[in-house]
Amino acid sequence: MHLPIPSILLFFSAVLAEECYTRSYGSNCATKDEVQTVKDLYCQYHYSHPTLDFLEFHVGDQGKQNVYVGQIGEFESKEGCDGAFENIIRCHGQRNGGSWTYQGVSLNVNYCDW
Protein backbone atom coordinates (compact mmCIF):
# COMPACT_ATOMS: atom_id res chain seq x y z
CA MET A 1 0.00 0.00 0.00
CA HIS A 2 1.39 3.39 -0.96
CA LEU A 3 0.08 6.60 0.56
CA PRO A 4 0.75 9.95 -1.05
CA ILE A 5 3.18 12.16 0.89
CA PRO A 6 0.52 14.75 1.93
CA SER A 7 -1.60 11.95 3.47
CA ILE A 8 1.37 10.66 5.43
CA LEU A 9 2.23 14.14 6.70
CA LEU A 10 -1.37 14.80 7.71
CA PHE A 11 -1.47 11.50 9.61
CA PHE A 12 1.71 12.23 11.54
CA SER A 13 0.66 15.83 12.25
CA ALA A 14 -2.56 14.63 13.83
CA VAL A 15 -0.82 11.86 15.78
CA LEU A 16 1.84 14.19 17.16
CA ALA A 17 -0.56 17.02 18.00
CA GLU A 18 -0.73 16.38 21.76
CA GLU A 19 2.04 16.33 24.31
CA CYS A 20 1.89 15.53 28.03
CA TYR A 21 3.55 17.95 30.41
CA THR A 22 6.79 16.76 32.00
CA ARG A 23 5.61 17.41 35.57
CA SER A 24 3.72 14.64 37.31
CA TYR A 25 1.89 13.95 40.54
CA GLY A 26 1.16 17.53 41.50
CA SER A 27 -1.00 18.65 44.39
CA ASN A 28 -4.78 19.06 44.45
CA CYS A 29 -5.24 17.29 41.13
CA ALA A 30 -8.72 16.98 39.64
CA THR A 31 -10.01 13.48 38.92
CA LYS A 32 -10.38 12.27 35.36
CA ASP A 33 -14.18 12.59 35.64
CA GLU A 34 -13.82 16.18 36.85
CA VAL A 35 -11.57 16.99 33.89
CA GLN A 36 -14.19 15.42 31.58
CA THR A 37 -16.82 17.72 33.11
CA VAL A 38 -14.59 20.74 32.47
CA LYS A 39 -14.06 19.55 28.87
CA ASP A 40 -17.82 19.41 28.30
CA LEU A 41 -18.36 22.87 29.76
CA TYR A 42 -15.32 24.50 28.16
CA CYS A 43 -15.85 23.13 24.66
CA GLN A 44 -19.57 23.92 24.71
CA TYR A 45 -19.01 27.64 25.34
CA HIS A 46 -15.40 28.50 24.50
CA TYR A 47 -14.24 26.45 21.47
CA SER A 48 -14.26 29.48 19.17
CA HIS A 49 -12.96 32.00 21.72
CA PRO A 50 -9.23 32.12 22.44
CA THR A 51 -8.39 32.88 26.06
CA LEU A 52 -6.29 35.88 27.05
CA ASP A 53 -5.11 33.98 30.11
CA PHE A 54 -5.79 30.56 31.58
CA LEU A 55 -9.39 30.05 32.69
CA GLU A 56 -9.69 28.46 36.12
CA PHE A 57 -12.45 25.92 36.80
CA HIS A 58 -13.09 24.96 40.44
CA VAL A 59 -14.09 21.30 40.73
CA GLY A 60 -14.13 18.54 43.30
CA ASP A 61 -15.29 18.49 46.86
CA GLN A 62 -16.00 22.11 47.80
CA GLY A 63 -14.16 23.33 44.70
CA LYS A 64 -10.72 22.63 46.14
CA GLN A 65 -9.29 21.21 42.90
CA ASN A 66 -8.71 23.41 39.89
CA VAL A 67 -8.48 22.76 36.18
CA TYR A 68 -6.74 25.46 34.13
CA VAL A 69 -7.47 25.82 30.41
CA GLY A 70 -5.72 28.12 27.93
CA GLN A 71 -6.38 28.38 24.20
CA ILE A 72 -4.70 30.19 21.31
CA GLY A 73 -6.58 30.28 18.02
CA GLU A 74 -10.11 29.08 17.30
CA PHE A 75 -11.48 25.58 16.80
CA GLU A 76 -13.83 25.27 13.85
CA SER A 77 -16.31 23.26 15.92
CA LYS A 78 -17.13 22.00 19.39
CA GLU A 79 -16.19 18.52 18.17
CA GLY A 80 -12.68 19.71 17.30
CA CYS A 81 -12.28 21.09 20.82
CA ASP A 82 -13.66 17.85 22.31
CA GLY A 83 -11.15 15.77 20.35
CA ALA A 84 -8.17 17.92 21.36
CA PHE A 85 -9.26 17.92 25.01
CA GLU A 86 -9.69 14.11 24.94
CA ASN A 87 -6.12 13.74 23.68
CA ILE A 88 -4.87 15.76 26.65
CA ILE A 89 -7.03 13.76 29.08
CA ARG A 90 -5.00 10.69 28.04
CA CYS A 91 -2.14 12.22 30.07
CA HIS A 92 -4.23 12.04 33.27
CA GLY A 93 -2.77 9.80 35.95
CA GLN A 94 0.74 10.15 34.54
CA ARG A 95 1.27 13.89 34.15
CA ASN A 96 -0.23 17.15 35.46
CA GLY A 97 -1.76 18.03 32.09
CA GLY A 98 -0.79 18.54 28.52
CA SER A 99 -1.00 20.58 25.36
CA TRP A 100 -2.44 20.03 21.91
CA THR A 101 -1.36 22.08 18.88
CA TYR A 102 -2.49 21.72 15.29
CA GLN A 103 -3.14 24.09 12.39
CA GLY A 104 -2.85 27.32 14.36
CA VAL A 105 -4.82 26.19 17.40
CA SER A 106 -3.17 25.42 20.73
CA LEU A 107 -4.99 24.08 23.78
CA ASN A 108 -3.31 23.69 27.19
CA VAL A 109 -4.95 21.94 30.13
CA ASN A 110 -3.46 21.62 33.61
CA TYR A 111 -5.41 19.54 36.12
CA CYS A 112 -3.18 20.05 39.17
CA ASP A 113 -2.29 23.21 41.10
CA TRP A 114 0.63 25.15 39.65
- List, for residues 42-54, the tens digit of each pLDDT value: 999 999 999 889 9
What is the set of domains in the chain, with CATH numbers?
Answer: 18-113 (3.30.430)
**What confidence score (pLDDT) does residue 99 get?**
96
| Region of poorest pLDDT, from 6-10, 17-21, 103-107 | 6-10
Phi, psi of 42, rounded to the nearest 5 degrees = -60, -50
Q: What is the per-residue pLDDT across 76-110, written as a single tens digit (0 to 9) for each?
A: 999 999 999 999 999 998 889 999 999 999 999 99
Strand partners, 99: 19, 108
What is the average per-residue pLDDT within 15-39?
85
pLDDT at 7 over 80: no
Say if residue 25's pLDDT is above 60: yes
For the entire predicted model, the pTM comes to 0.81
Let me know: does 51 contact 71? Beta carbons within 8 Å: yes
